Amino acid sequence: MKTSETTPLRIKGARIIDPASGRDERRGELCVSEGRFTDRLSEAESRRAVTVDATGLVVAPGFVDLCCRLGEPGRSARETVRTGTLAAAAGGFTTVVAMPDSSPPADNVGTVQLLREICGREAAVRVLPAGTLTKGHEGKALAPLGSLRKAGVCAVTDTVSGVQNNEIMRRALEYAAMFGLVVLDHCQDSSMTEGAQMHEGAWSLRLGLRGWPRAAEEIVASSDCALAGLTRARIHLQHLSSGGSAEIVRQAKAKGLPVTAEVSALHLLLTDADLGGYDANLKLNPPLREERDRLALIAALVDGTLDAVCSDHSPCTATEKDCEFDQAPFGAATLETAFAAAHDAVVADGHAPLAVLLERLTSGPARVLGLEAGTLAAGAAADFVLLDPEARWKPSAAGLLSKSGNNPLVGRALRGRVKSTYVGGRKAFGA
């Protein structure tokens, strides 16, 4: 991400919510100097400062996304670092963790360095590369984790491939812990999901599509927690979809195991019933499940069992999605609507106050990886977002910044919108 000298800022009139410090102040003031938050501006800075009137809005730390795909290298038809990070900024995300399932995969220093170079030129927000856990994310031989750590990866994961062998997973956890790396795991027993298209239940029967049982996720979530107990290595369960998986994490945390977990915004808002029209943009991995799963995930997010809300941004081209449902790839472009989707499901529906959701978008995910992000504290990088929680809007295909248009919420009425986003004190999105 390019950096340059920034103009001092004074943000006035907004409700300031900083979950990391417990700050919730009506009509407060926030100051930025040299790209960082400060308690006050000097006289000279005050004369040069730009005042932002944020009356009626909420100012919060920039969101941190733990699961995002930016296309490059190798998949630029779907997304580029430039378009993906502009979409991230439009969604309020100032830090995103880029998944390593690029082409070639980020299982070597060269690919990681290439991504960092591209981001240095093109990124509108902060991009943290993740490395693969195994070579080629094939789940067979461990990737050179020490070298990847030196190259700057923030975590390791085999993404949707997953490690299907528990002995390899055990050794991977032990190896990653040696270098202080958190292992991110997509919980899927592939032997139970071959050919599956959506959640296994009444709707899969009605639509004539092969079902994907909850157990395929819950079995791996259970084994991951058991291995965390055995190795004492940090493991983070990605985009959980099952209420049973949330309960497994709840029990693991009660035992003091080093386990954290996340949920995607779409899984908080939608269910398998939304696939009634065979919309390929709703073909997700993991799949949307039933209403009882959705409510269980919301409850787990509210009580802290789930640490973070992620976008799980997985862009696909219009051509890839324009086919029969069972032939379409999994994934949805979600960065720009993640906040609104989660806000609609959690806050607007009365499950929790706004401050709780913001914690799961900011300091919660930052803690998972030990990142210096997700706070408005003096001295921290001035990454923040201005929100209108009451704004009602409908995303349009023409208004999206992501290169891919496979956002399933296009045309859907949503409540809560990002108005502007700042990274290091510079506006990355907004009028």
Residues 430, 419: contact at Cβ < 8 Å? Answer: yes
Is 312 marked active-site?
yes
Domain count, the chain: 2
* Residue 377 maps to a domain: no
Q: What is the pLDDT of residue 162?
A: 85
Q: What is the pLDDT of residue 1?
A: 62
CA–centroid distance for 282 within its chain: 17
Report which secondary-structure segment, H or E, holds 392: strand 384-393
* Residue 280 maps to a domain: yes
* Residue in 101, 312, 344, 383 annotated catalytic: 312
* Residue 375 maps to a domain: no
One-character DSSP codes across 119-157: HHHH-SSEEEE-B-SBGGG-SSSB--HHHHHHHT-SEEE
Positions in the chain whose pLDDT score sits under 70? 1-5
pTM of the model: 0.96
Task: Let me know whether 225 and 286 are in one domain.
Answer: yes
> Which residue is listed with tokens 């950096």?
3
> Which residues constitute the domain of residue 161?
63-369
> Which residue is listed with tokens 């599956």?
196
Give which of 184, 251, 241, 195 is closest to 215, Cα–Cα.
Answer: 241
Would you call 336 exposed, middle or buried from its count of C-beta atoms within 10 A (0-12, 13-18, 19+)?
A: buried
Task: Let me know whether 262 and 392 are in one domain.
Answer: no
Calpha distance 137→167 (Å, rounded): 16
Give which of 348, 330, 99 is closest to 193, Cα–Cα.
Answer: 330
Give the CATH number of the domain where residue 245 resides. Answer: 3.20.20.140
Calpha distance 422→427 (Å, rounded): 4
Which of 369, 390, 420 terminates a domain? The answer is 369
Task: Let me know whether 67 and 54 are in one domain.
Answer: no
One-character DSSP codes across 7-51: --EEEEEEEEEETTTTEEEEEEEEEEETTEEES---HHHHHHPEE
Which of 346, 369, 392 terminates a domain? The answer is 369
Task: Let me know whether 50 and 70 are in one domain.
Answer: no
Task: Let me know whether 46 and 135 are in one domain.
Answer: no
Task: Let me know whether 284 and 391 are in one domain.
Answer: no
Calpha distance 122→111 (Å, rounded): 16
* Residue 374 maps to a domain: no
Task: Let me know whether 184 and 319 are in one domain.
Answer: yes
Task: Let me know whether 296 and 228 are in one domain.
Answer: yes
* Residue 1 maps to a domain: no
Task: Let me know whether 300 and 316 are in one domain.
Answer: yes
* Residue 83 maps to a domain: yes
Enumerate residues 6+ apart whose C-beta is below 8 A from 319. Answer: none
* Residue 238 maps to a domain: yes
* Residue 386 maps to a domain: yes
